[in-house]
Amino acid sequence: MSAVVPGLPLVLDLDGRDVLVVGGGPVAAAKARQLLAVGARVTMVAPHFDEASHFDAASDLAELPGPAVQRRRRAYRPSDLNGCWLVITATDDEDVTAAVAADAAAARVFHNAADRPEHCSATLMALHRRGDVTVAVSTGGRSPAAAGWLRDRLAATIDAGAERAVRVAAVARDRIRAAGRSSEGLAWRNLLDEAAGLDGGRVAEADDAAADLADRFVRRALSGDAHSSPGGAHGSPDGDRAGRVQLVGAGPGDPGLLTVAAVAALRWADVVVHDALVGDGVLALIPKGTELIDVGKRPGRPVPQEAIGALLVLLARNGRRVVRLKGGDPYVFGRGGEEALALAAAGVAYDVVPGVSAALAAPALAGVPVTQRGLAAAVTVITGHRALSQPPVDWEAAARLGGTLVVLMGVAERAAIAAALQRGGLHPDTPVAVIERASRADQRVLRTRLRSVGDLLVEAPATLVIGEVAALDLRSAGGASSGASAIEGATTELCAAVG
Known catalytic residues are 275, 297
Check binding of 191 to ligand SAH (CB under 6 A).
no
In the complex, what is the shortest distance from the CB of residue 334 to ligand SAH, in angstroms, rounded to a whole number? 3
Q: Binding pattern to ligand SAH, positions 278-317, x when CB under 6 A?
A: ----------------------------------------
Stretch that binds ligand SAH, among 27-35, 38-46, 459-467, 488-496 (CB under 6 A): 459-467
- 3-state class of 120 per DSSP? coil
In the complex, what is the shortest distance from the CB of residue 420 to ligand SAH, in angstroms, rounded to a whole number? 18
What is the spatial distance between Cα 119 and Cα 94, in angstroms, rounded to a whole number? 10
β-strand partners of 127: 136
What is the spatial distance between Cα 111 and Cα 118, in angstroms, rounded to a whole number? 11
Count of residues that bind ligand SAH according to CB under 6 A? 24
Check binding of 332 to ligand SAH (CB under 6 A).
yes
What is the spatial distance between Cα 72 and Cα 5, in angstroms, rounded to a whole number? 35
In the complex, what is the shortest distance from the CB of residue 252 to ligand SAH, in angstroms, rounded to a whole number? 4
Where b means 16+ CB within 10 Å and e means fewer, 368-379 reads bebebeebbeeb
Q: In sequence order, which residues have a C-beta less than 8 Å from that of residue 201 and are 6 or more positions away?
A: 209
DSSP state of 257: G
Stretch that binds ligand SAH, among 14-22, 101-109, 205-213, 323-331 (CB under 6 A): 323-331
Instruction: Indicate the length of the chain as a whole number.
Output: 499
In the complex, what is the shortest distance from the CB of residue 290 to ligand SAH, in angstroms, rounded to a whole number? 22
Check binding of 250 to ligand SAH (CB under 6 A).
no
Nearer to ligand SAH (CB atom), residue 194 or residue 254: 254
Check binding of 252 to ligand SAH (CB under 6 A).
yes
Q: In sequence order, which residues have a C-beta less than 8 Å from that of residue 60 and are 6 or more positions away?
A: 33, 54
In the complex, what is the shortest distance from the CB of residue 478 to ligand SAH, in angstroms, rounded to a whole number? 24
Check binding of 329 to ligand SAH (CB under 6 A).
yes
What is the spatial distance between Cα 480 and Cα 400, in angstroms, rounded to a whole number? 29
Check binding of 363 to ligand SAH (CB under 6 A).
no
Whose CA is closest to 282, among 304, 303, 270, 266? 266
Helix (DSSP H) and strand (DSSP E) numbers for the chain: 14, 18
What is the spatial distance between Cα 17 and Cα 150, in angstroms, rounded to a whole number? 30
**Pairing of β 133-137 and β 86-89:** unpaired
In the chain, % helix, strand, coil (3-state, to 5) comes to 35, 20, 45
Check binding of 404 to ligand SAH (CB under 6 A).
no
Q: Binding pattern to ligand SAH, positions 415-454, x when CB under 6 A?
A: --------------------x-xxx---------------
Nearer to ligand SAH (CB atom), residue 147 or residue 257: 257
Stretch that binds ligand SAH, among 86-94, 119-127, 159-167, 332-340 (CB under 6 A): 332-340
Residues of this chain that interact with ligand SAH (CB under 6 A) are: 252-253, 277, 326-329, 332-334, 357-359, 362, 408-409, 435, 437-439, 460-463
